[in-house]
Amino acid sequence: MTHRLASRLGALALALFAALPVRAALFEHDDARKAILDLRGKVSQGDEQRNQLAATVKQLSEQIQQLQRSLLDLNNQNEQLRSDLARLRGQDEQLLRDLSEVQRRQKDIAQGVDDRMRKLEPQAVSLDGRDFTADPDEKRAHDEAMAALRAGEFERAAVQMQAFLKRYPASGYLPSVRYWLGNAQYGQRQYKDAMATFRGFVTASPDHLRAPEALLAHAGIPLDDLKAQRWPIDHITRLWRAAASLTQDAGFGLKAGSQVGPASFNVVSYILQSSPTLRESIAVVQKFQRLISDGGRFQMIAGERASWIVYHPRQGELAFSPHQLEAVLSAVVSFSRWVTGSGMSPLRAQFSHSALGPLSGYQAVFHCPVDFEQAFSGLLLGNAVLDQPLPQADPQLAAVHQQYAAARLAALSEESTADLATELRGWLAAQLGHAPPDRAQAAQAFGMTERTFARRLQNLALSYTGLLDAARQEHACQAVAHTQRAFSDIAQSLGFAEASAFNRAFKRWTGGAPGEYRRIGRSDEILLI
């Protein structure tokens, strides 16, 4: 740019010099000088401007160069910044990864500590309806013993459970371990030890969820038998014996009977409370006894001022438990007090067995004299008490309930026709000890008409006379062989008017006299019809 400007100025100067002669001819000397001077001034001014311009251009060039250097520096700085930023980002990412790793390790460490601490801390356990805490070792010992039991390794399970009981005497597992220890012992056929274990279990934990199962196991009753609508009398007897054995309570039967309340006998209870008198209530019990239980029969022996309410237990293969008898008579008193709305008490109570506990326990229940080892079990009630109108008497309501109960009894009789012979034998055995009942009395006791009763026996190819004779035979043989009762007493209890008639009947039954039978003790050769 500077070179081009200088060329233009040179050309302008040459043009001016070339035009001087012409202008000298045209203008005057002063004017020409003035023009020259002006021109020179302009040229000088142009030179000055050119110099200024050149200086400016140079300055601008320097500035541009400076700017270029600055820009380059800025670019370098930007690149450095970018590099630093990338490095910082990389560092941040690494720090984040390191932090994450540290956090993970801390979490793992904390979890490991928690796991180790948890192994040392008590754990919540819910078992058989009970909540408690157990140490890890305690829980592990229990689980190992149960695993052995489930595997059928009864010996190992029993050893582990016994060790558990010694090591953890206050454990929440204790009731369940006792129960399963009894099962393990039972599995080894260690029946005596099993019964002792079950006894300790029920005694210590009577309200435990598995207490009924232990009671059934002690009684030798399969758990599936709970599904049966009616139990055989022997099952009930075994259960009573087991309960008495497990509780070790001489007054168990008395206490159980005292718990009988208004609704204990279902529809029969409603008939009892709506009956006109207590005597009529007892007659209702006699009529509908099978709706309550097959365990026995009631009999009323009326006297001038008082009447005996006698209970004849039905005998199966097992002898009736004395606790059962005491529970029955205790229940009669408890229910009578409720239905009469008074604190009535018998005049006398007596049992065929020996006293099971202190006499004071019996008197606390019956509030009267109590005798033992008598010919029968029963209560002596005053006729005034028996014939006093009941506060809730309602003949119409009683009739409705009796109609319903009769239908229930008929249906039950239809269902159990096949067991009629067995039940009748047991009932006849329970009636012996006084005048033998006739067929009409038996029919009434089983809730049937005499005609229906006879027809059902005929369908079973049985006769009432034959069954009664068989019951008398069994009773006679048992009494002769296993007691020291006088033969005349035995004969009278079986309804024989004379001892000679008894001797003839006994010889017909066994082929020999009673005295000979007692000496030989041939109780295992009884011939039953």
Digit-coded pLDDT (tens) for 472-485: 887 788 778 777 78
Band (pLDDT 50/70/90 cuts) for residue 529 is very low
- H/E stretch holding 378: strand 377-382
Alpha carbon distances (Å) from 15 to 18, 208, 407: 5, 138, 158
Q: How many CA atoms lie within 13 A of 281 on its CB side?
A: 31
Q: 287 with 449: CB under 8 angstroms? A: no
Q: 401 with 271: CB under 8 angstroms? A: yes
Q: Which of the given ranges, 24-28, 44-48, 105-109, 135-139, has the highest pLDDT on average?
A: 135-139
pTM tops 0.85, yes or no: no
Give the mean pLDDT of 393-420.
73
Give the mean pLDDT of 270-286.
85
Give the mean pLDDT of 491-504.
82
| Confidence (pLDDT) at 15 | 56
Residue 177 clears pLDDT 70, i.e. is over it: yes
User: In terms of DSSP bridges, do strands 370-371 and 348-350 run parallel, antiparallel, or are they unpaired?
Assistant: parallel
More confident residue, 371 or 274: 371
Band (pLDDT 50/70/90 cuts) for residue 26 is very low
Strand partners, 311: 298, 377
Neighbouring C-beta atoms of residue 3, cutoff 10 Å: 7
What is the Cα–Cα distance from 502 to 479, expressed in whole angstroms?
13
The radius of gyration computed from the CA coordinates of the chain, to the nearest angstrom, equals 59
Percent of the chain with pLDDT over 90: 14
For 189-241, what is each residue's pLDDT tens digit? 787 788 788 878 877 887 788 877 777 777 777 666 666 666 777 778 888 88
| Confidence (pLDDT) at 450 | 83
User: Do 129-227 and 416-525 come out as alike in CATH topology?
Assistant: no
| Confidence (pLDDT) at 361 | 92
- Ranking 242-256, 320-334, 428-442 by mean pLDDT, the lowest is 428-442
More confident residue, 57 or 306: 306
Band (pLDDT 50/70/90 cuts) for residue 380 is very high
Which residues lie below 8 Å from residue 134, measured CB to CB, with a gap of 6+? Answer: 122, 123, 125, 142, 171, 172, 173
Q: Where are the alpha helices (DSSP H) in 248-374?
A: 252-258, 267-274, 278-287, 289-292, 322-340, 359-366
DSSP state of 122: -
CA nearest 494: which of 484, 482, 506, 483? 506
For 104-145, what is each residue's pLDDT tens digit? 888 877 777 666 655 556 778 888 878 888 888 888 899 999
| Confidence (pLDDT) at 163 | 93
Band (pLDDT 50/70/90 cuts) for residue 367 is very high
| Confidence (pLDDT) at 229 | 63
Q: How many CA atoms lie within 13 A of 302 on its CB side?
A: 9
| Confidence (pLDDT) at 228 | 65
More confident residue, 165 or 189: 165
Domain boundaries, the chain: 1-68, 129-227, 254-395, 416-525
Residue 24 clears pLDDT 50, i.e. is over it: no
- Ranking 136-145, 154-163, 517-526 by mean pLDDT, the lowest is 517-526
Q: How many CA atoms lie within 13 A of 149 on its CB side?
A: 24
Asked if CATH classification 3.40.228.10 holds for the domain at 416-525, the reply, yes or no, is: no
Band (pLDDT 50/70/90 cuts) for residue 310 is very high
Single-letter residue type at 326:
E
Residue 381 clears pLDDT 90, i.e. is over it: yes
Q: 165 with 200: CB under 8 angstroms? A: no
Ranges assigned E (strand) in 186-325 = 296-302, 306-313
Strand partners, 434: 432
CATH ID of 129-227, from 1.10.1660.10, 1.10.150.20, 1.25.40.10, 3.20.20.120: 1.25.40.10
Alpha carbon distances (Å) from 374 to 223, 301, 426, 445, 475: 37, 16, 21, 24, 17
Band (pLDDT 50/70/90 cuts) for residue 523 is very low
Band (pLDDT 50/70/90 cuts) for residue 307 is very high
Residue 16 clears pLDDT 70, i.e. is over it: no
Which residues lie below 8 Å from residue 337, measured CB to CB, with a gap of 6+? Answer: 343, 344
Q: 186 with 198: CB under 8 angstroms? A: no
More confident residue, 368 or 402: 368
User: In terms of DSSP bridges, do strands 130-134 and 123-127 run parallel, antiparallel, or are they unpaired?
Assistant: antiparallel
Percent of the chain with pLDDT over 70: 85
| Confidence (pLDDT) at 117 | 56
More confident residue, 419 or 212: 212
What is the Cα–Cα distance from 227 to 221, expressed in whole angstroms?
12
What is the Cα–Cα distance from 180 to 176, expressed in whole angstroms?
6
CA nearest 372: which of 357, 355, 360? 355
The chain-wide mean pLDDT, for the chain, equals 80
More confident residue, 143 or 54: 143
| Confidence (pLDDT) at 207 | 79
What are the φ and ψ backbone dihedral angles of 22, each rounded to 5 degrees? -65, -45
Residue 244 clears pLDDT 60, i.e. is over it: yes
| Confidence (pLDDT) at 522 | 40
Band (pLDDT 50/70/90 cuts) for residue 18 is low
- Ranking 24-33, 314-323, 501-510 by mean pLDDT, the lowest is 24-33
Give the mean pLDDT of 306-313.
91
Neighbouring C-beta atoms of residue 187, cutoff 10 Å: 16
